Amino acid sequence: MKIIAIYGSARKKGFSALAVDTAVSYFENRGQEVEKYYLSDMNIQPCMGCFACRKKEGCVRHDDMSELFQKIVESDFVIFSSPIYCFSTNSIYNRMFERLYPMLEGGMALGEGARKYTQRYPNKKCSTIVRN
């Protein structure tokens, strides 16, 4: 099973990281390999809202999110994590999450024949760990 863990905290030894490390240890103790990604070490630009990903899989931006997106697509299980700052997940996590928009298709902007969203990867499994 391909598993990836996405650490949303800038503090690599903080409480959020500790919670993810516990989940990672669970899988590693059962012989699973887990790839780790630290969002604070990545260059992830914001979503431009261009809707290009509605027509074709992927994003027109080519930054570290391109590789991370591909790893998410190829994985069997994803662990997302973020600390809570001011009653919300942190900014780098939000930026990454917005860039997961290509996981959906359809939903074109109004005036372009709006339709419902559908999942490109309907059997994707994940867990989210948030910690204040």
CATH number at residue 35: 3.40.50.360
pLDDT score recorded for residue 120: 82
Alpha carbons 33 and 24: distance in angstroms, whole number: 9
Sites in the chain below the pLDDT cut of 70:
107-115
SS3 82: strand
What predicted TM-score, i.e. pTM, was given to this entire model? 0.86
pLDDT at 108: 61
What's the structural domain count of the chain?
Answer: 1
* Residue whose C-alpha is closest to residue 125's, from 58, 81, 65, 73: 73
* 98 phi, psi to nearest 5 deg: -60, -35
User: What residue numbers bound the domain in which 91 lies?
Assistant: 3-131
How far does Cα 105 stand from its chain's mean position?
16
The reported pLDDT for the residue numbered 132 is 73
Residue 110 has a pLDDT of 54
Tokens of 118: 């559908």
Question: Could you say which DSSP state residue 118 is in?
Answer: E
Tens digit of pLDDT for each residue in 62-71? 999 999 999 9
